[in-house]
Chains A and B, each alone.
Chain A
Amino acid sequence: MIKNPGISAVVAVAAAVALAGCGSSSEGSEDRELTVFAAASLTDTFTELAEQFEKDHPGVKVTTSFGGSSDLVAQIEDGAPADVFASADTKNMDKLGELATDPQDFASNTLEIATPPGNPAKITAFQDLARSGTKVVVCAVEVPCGNATAQLEEKTGVDIEPVSEEQSVSDVLAKVTSGDADAGLVYVTDVTAAGETVTGVEFDESDQVVNTYPISTLDGADEADLAQEFVDLVLSEAGQKVLSDAGFGQP
């Protein structure tokens, strides 16, 4: 079938190389690598902090992975090679149990309304979200921002009927920036990070539900010392400044 025996040899070699490459990612490098898993809402701040950390620790490469806190927890439980985990809520950190060696709160966040630029639907208060005909997008209750939304609805008695329950804050923002939703509920820091693509509407009731962000080194971390140093950086004055500049509150 194969006229040129060279082809099958090439295929065999290529397959062998591909397979060998799978297992050797951590070998052959003298540099140390720290892997940080952090909630999606920490993308900007932790990227900045990671760069800071690399500057302070020559020869260390910080790899960051951002995603929904619950996703990251699932990945860590399945054995993802993370050294540090920063969660958007205590519930998800608690799920890790013993795997999280020493969780410490490092920031807090509250909800804010995001509307398309110029706020075309004229949303000025939290109860406006319950107005009939207003297209509101929220996070699904399974994810931290949705959990916070549900708590806030319960505490204020405002019953929002969303047109969509999104999987993450960024999905909510996407529907708002495209103009398809009149308003979305996200974190204060998300509105700050989104800049001019959305108009934020602060509301009085927001401080009734405060999300606390814990950070922890992880049991079995390859780089336990570096992991602790990274946590220290986040908790340091410099680290806290980066966070407060992005709109995060004190823990």
Chain B
Amino acid sequence: MPRWLWFPAALAATFVVVPLAAIILRVDLASFPALITSPSALEALWLSLRTAAASTALCILLGVPLATVLARTDFPGQGLLRSLVLLPLVLPPVVSGLALLYTFGRRGLLGQSLDLVGIQITFTTLAVVLAQTFVALPFLVISLEGALRTSGTRYEAVAATLGARPTTVFRRVTLPLVGPGLLSGSVLAFARCLGEFGATITFAGNLPGVTSTMPLQVYLLRVDDPDAAVALSLVLVVVAVAVIGFARHGRAL
């Protein structure tokens, strides 16, 4: 490595670290404990953790089969399918929210029929979970597909020649092999869910205890009560750091 790379690298690191430091410096230490333990803050945190956990579970349920199909099969249009599935990664979250609204909204593609049987998804906690799952699913699929491709098919082939059925191979060989990849993918998805804002506000709305997750609270409070907004932001930063640390540890296993 040329030694001069140190300079731009340091610049990049500074660029990421300084804003984080800036938010920490803004925290009013005296009121911090009271602010993050206020009933509304705890309510938002609890809602965020609950919805992110549910969304991550949904991501695993839907993402593991999808990643396996993408990694282990070859069919026409697969490249296109992969691109489409990864689209929420690069879409502005607000656009994802609109797309969900036009699908599950009361007058949406599917929402119209749901409304006839008395089900409305918008403004419910389920809408938050759907929004988070939509934006986080690609994170899980992309890291798991990578892990599946890296681990290769040799062990699976051996297991098959020894008489194991496809389902047994998948359960006993494939999944354990990509365990670390699945773990880090899930953790990434969880972190993305925790931070979800744009799709949630567009699709689910904002009601304390029902749809008002931490990022929505921060956004609403930032003007009227900046101290509270900063305190909640710091909680999100801490959770994010913990999640990333956990993911790195998982990868090392």
Interface residues of A (CB under 8 A from B): 1-2, 68, 70-71, 73-74, 135, 137, 140, 142, 162-167, 171, 174-175, 178-181
A1 touches B205 (CB 8 A): no
By a CB distance below 8 angstroms, the chain B residues around A73 are 223
Q: How far is the CA of A135 from the CA of B127 in the complex (A)?
A: 15
Q: Which of B1, B120, B204, B223 is A142 in contact with, Cβ under 8 Å?
A: B223
By a CB distance below 8 angstroms, the chain A residues around B2 are 1-2
Determine the main DSSP class of B at the interface with A: loop
Shortest distance from the beta carbon of A167 to any chain B beta carbon, whole Å: 6
A142 touches B207 (CB 8 A): no
Q: How far is the CA of A74 from the CA of B205 in the complex (A)?
A: 24
B221 touches A180 (CB 8 A): no
Please tell me if B174 contacts chain A, counting CB pairs below 8 Å. no
By a CB distance below 8 angstroms, the chain B residues around A137 are 205
By a CB distance below 8 angstroms, the chain A residues around B201 are 167, 171
By a CB distance below 8 angstroms, the chain B residues around A68 are 223
Q: How far is the CA of A180 from the CA of B204 in the complex (A)?
A: 10
Known A166-B205, A167-B206, A178-B107: A142·B101 in contact at CB below 8 Å? no
Known A162-B207, A164-B211, A166-B205: A180·B219 in contact at CB below 8 Å? no
Can you identify 28 A-B contacts, CB atoms within 8 angstroms?
Answer: A1-B1, A68-B223, A70-B223, A71-B223, A74-B222, A74-B223, A74-B226, A135-B120, A142-B221, A163-B123, A164-B207, A164-B211, A165-B208, A165-B212, A166-B205, A166-B206, A167-B201, A167-B206, A167-B219, A167-B220, A175-B122, A178-B105, A178-B106, A179-B107, A180-B105, A180-B107, A180-B120, A180-B122
Interface residues of B (CB under 8 A from A): 1-2, 5, 101, 105-107, 120, 122-123, 201-202, 204-208, 211-212, 219-224, 226
B206 touches A175 (CB 8 A): no
By a CB distance below 8 angstroms, the chain A residues around B212 are 165
Shortest distance from the beta carbon of A87 to any chain B beta carbon, whole Å: 13
Q: How far is the CA of A175 from the CA of B106 in the complex (A)?
A: 10
Cβ-closest chain A residue relative to B112 = A179
A179 touches B106 (CB 8 A): yes
Known A164-B207, A164-B211: A179·B120 in contact at CB below 8 Å? no
Cβ-closest chain A residue relative to B111 = A180
Shortest distance from the beta carbon of A135 to any chain B beta carbon, whole Å: 7
By a CB distance below 8 angstroms, the chain A residues around B211 are 164
Cβ-closest chain B residue relative to A73 = B223
Interface centre among A162, A163, A181, by most B CB within 10 Å?
A: A163
B224 touches A70 (CB 8 A): yes
Q: How far is the CA of A171 from the CA of B221 in the complex (A)?
A: 17
Q: Using A2-B2, A142-B223, A164-B205 as known contacts, list a sample of 6 further A-B pairs with CB atoms less than 8 Å apart, ordered by residue number in A.
A: A74-B223, A74-B226, A140-B206, A163-B207, A167-B220, A180-B106
Shortest distance from the beta carbon of B62 to any chain A beta carbon, whole Å: 25
By a CB distance below 8 angstroms, the chain A residues around B206 are 140, 164-167
By a CB distance below 8 angstroms, the chain A residues around B101 are 178, 180
Q: How far is the CA of A113 from the CA of B219 in the complex (A)?
A: 26
Q: How far is the CA of A73 from the CA of B207 in the complex (A)?
A: 25
Q: How far is the CA of A174 from the CA of B226 in the complex (A)?
A: 27
Q: Which of A2, A163, A179 is B205 in contact with, Cβ under 8 Å?
A: A163
B220 touches A142 (CB 8 A): yes
Shortest distance from the beta carbon of A107 to any chain B beta carbon, whole Å: 22
Q: Which of B123, B220, B222 is A140 in contact with, Cβ under 8 Å?
A: B220
B207 touches A165 (CB 8 A): yes
Q: How far is the CA of A241 from the CA of B232 in the complex (A)?
A: 45
By a CB distance below 8 angstroms, the chain B residues around A135 are 120, 123
Q: How far is the CA of A108 from the CA of B202 in the complex (A)?
A: 29
Q: How far is the CA of A73 from the CA of B224 in the complex (A)?
A: 10
Interface centre among B123, B221, B226, by most A CB within 10 Å?
A: B123
Q: How far is the CA of A174 from the CA of B105 in the complex (A)?
A: 12
By a CB distance below 8 angstroms, the chain A residues around B106 are 178-180
Q: How far is the CA of A78 from the CA of B69 in the complex (A)?
A: 51
Shortest distance from the beta carbon of B60 to any chain A beta carbon, whole Å: 29
Cβ-closest chain A residue relative to B208 = A165
By a CB distance below 8 angstroms, the chain B residues around A166 are 205-206
Q: How far is the CA of A74 from the CA of B149 in the complex (A)?
A: 50
By a CB distance below 8 angstroms, the chain B residues around A2 are 2
Q: How far is the CA of A178 from the CA of B127 in the complex (A)?
A: 15
Q: How far is the CA of A47 from the CA of B216 in the complex (A)?
A: 30
B107 touches A142 (CB 8 A): no
By a CB distance below 8 angstroms, the chain A residues around B221 are 142
By a CB distance below 8 angstroms, the chain B residues around A74 are 222-223, 226
Shortest distance from the beta carbon of B123 to any chain A beta carbon, whole Å: 4
By a CB distance below 8 angstroms, the chain A residues around B224 are 70, 142
